[in-house]
Amino acid sequence: MADLWVNSAERIGADLHLELSGPGGRRAALIRALREAVRGGRLAPGTRLPPYRSLAADLGVARNTVADAYAELVAEGWLTARQGSGTRVAERALPPRPAGNPPVRTPPRARGPLHDLRQGTPDVSGFPRADWLASYRRALQQAPSEAFGPGDPAGRAELREALAEYLARARGVRCEPDRIVVCSGFGHALRLLFEGRVLRGPLAVEAYGLPFHRELLGGAGVRTVPLPLDEDGARVDRLTRERGVLLTPAHQFPTGGPLHAGRRAAVIDWARARDAVVVEDDYDGEFRYDRRPVGAVQGLDPERVILVGSVSKSLSPAVRLGWMVLPERYMADVLAAKGEREAWAGVLDQLCLADFVASGSYDRHVRRMRQRYRGRRDRLVAALARRAPHIEVTGVAAGLHAVLRLPPGTEAATVERARRLGVALDGLAAFRHPQHPESAAPAPDGLVVGYATPPEHAYAAALDALCGVFPDP
């Protein structure tokens, strides 16, 4: 038996695995192998087969052996041969199924919501395809040969240099390229920091946040301690003996609003006094509308803050790229946790993003999407003021989502009503820490509405459906 991999010029694309075995010599074995490949669907109708000479060379058989096999399969109707078009798999109907053997049906997919207003996703129809493609082409053409070898665990120098310049200019971050480690997003950063035992708990977190992050921390054996929130952000005065604190200071997730300037200074003072660390989730700091930009807390003390960002909100969650800006004392441990072989962020994507940032395309895209999301935010506020004036809209000075305050005790019923009407959104309770300090502040009822999620052409219908969720007061 010979297991051979045949390289085809068209439509086969990848190698074709043929097993030449059984009685009758090589010609008969080749006929059986090709016939089985067609019958089994591995060679689709219309697929062009390799020329006699190249297939014969790959298989180690005589050219006439291949020619004779092709000719017999053409005569049987499996293949077709036409001058100038080569030999192809025939376009023919599949044989009928035997009676009593019903076709296997794929179970239908569960029907999704008619209108998706869940948080966490940008308008993916706004992805800058032309500019991204131009950057990818430049990056590929200019990439040095060594870029195609094993990667640096810190990430490509080109990307770290571009990020250092951008973060300093746009987010007030103080860093050098050698303090940046490229990762695949915030979740990956948490895994490196806590599963890699670079940091340890207990860790203070905001009383509202992503359950996914709390689950990831719990899986790493980290105990999380919730901090209550008020109109000035997290109550950092409640910090005690924790080893660190995880904050979203530019735009608290999901309730909205920046961390007050006094509290930003206070959390740095606490970290210095306790020899602790602040993990700053800078998840959508570029998108602000009705307030001045809020710089990163990291700028107050680069040796006490780990800043983590990504392009999941600004570009797309499909671009699996993020970054950590690290104090010097954590660099070696993070790189050791990451390992010698880069397994998460592809080098070509890193080079593409580096060009995208350095060329100014990233800034232009962010400004364009900021205008789009501001317009959507304004339409949401206006529609609710007109059709559901009893619903208070909060947390809309920045970001990609709004919080709609509801009367006490109505959240669960409203989320269920929205589901029945085909509107997907999240209740505020879904983001509440299980040990939320009820005594510090009552847990409000509300909805978290992602106004960035629907594509532009579907936004008006999504708003109309959302307004229909709220009964008259």
pLDDT per position as a tens digit, 18-54: 777 777 788 888 888 888 888 888 888 888 888 888 8
Q: What are phi and psi of 4, to 5 degrees?
A: -125, 145
pLDDT per position as a tens digit, 274-283: 999 999 999 8
Question: Taking the CB of residue 104, how many other CB atoms lie within 10 A of it?
Answer: 5
Residue 99 has pLDDT above 60, yes or no: no
pLDDT class of 16 with cuts at 50, 70, 90: low
pTM over 0.85: no
Residue 105 has pLDDT above 80, yes or no: no
Per-residue buried b or exposed e for 194-204, using 16+ beta carbons within 10 Å of the residue's own CB: bebebbebebb
Among candidates 305, 164, 330, 288, which has minimal Cα distance to 244?
305
Q: Any idea what the Cα angle at residue 450 is, between residues 445 and 455, rounded to 5°?
A: 155
Q: CA-to-CA distance for 120 and 463, rounded, in angstroms?
A: 18
**DSSP-derived secondary structure letter, 158:** H
pLDDT class of 187 with cuts at 50, 70, 90: very high
* Residues 400/251, Cβ–Cβ less than 8 Å: no
pLDDT class of 113 with cuts at 50, 70, 90: confident
Most confident listed range (146-155, 174-183, 284-293): 174-183
Residue 212 has pLDDT above 70, yes or no: yes
Residue 87 has pLDDT above 90, yes or no: no
Please indicate whether the domains covering 126-360 and 364-467 agree at the CATH topology level: no
pLDDT per position as a tens digit, 380-415: 999 999 999 999 999 999 999 999 999 999 999 999
Higher pLDDT: 365 or 14? It is: 365
Which of these CATH numbers, 3.10.310.10, 1.10.10.10, 3.40.640.10, 3.60.15.10, describes 2-89? 1.10.10.10
Among candidates 174, 444, 115, which has minimal Cα distance to 296?
174
Average pLDDT over residues 196-207: 94
Residue 103 has pLDDT above 90, yes or no: no
Spatial strand order in the sheet of 392-394: 392-394, 401-405, 446-450, 426-427
| CATH top class, domain 364-467 | alpha beta
| CATH top class, domain 126-360 | alpha beta
pLDDT at residue number 1: 44
List the chain domain ranges: 2-89, 126-360, 364-467
Q: Which long-range contacts link 308-312 to residues 24+ away (Cβ below 8 Å)?
A: 308/183, 308/186, 308/189, 308/279, 308/280, 308/281, 308/282, 309/167, 309/171, 309/186, 309/282, 309/283, 309/285, 310/185, 310/186, 310/283, 311/353, 312/122, 312/185, 312/186, 312/283
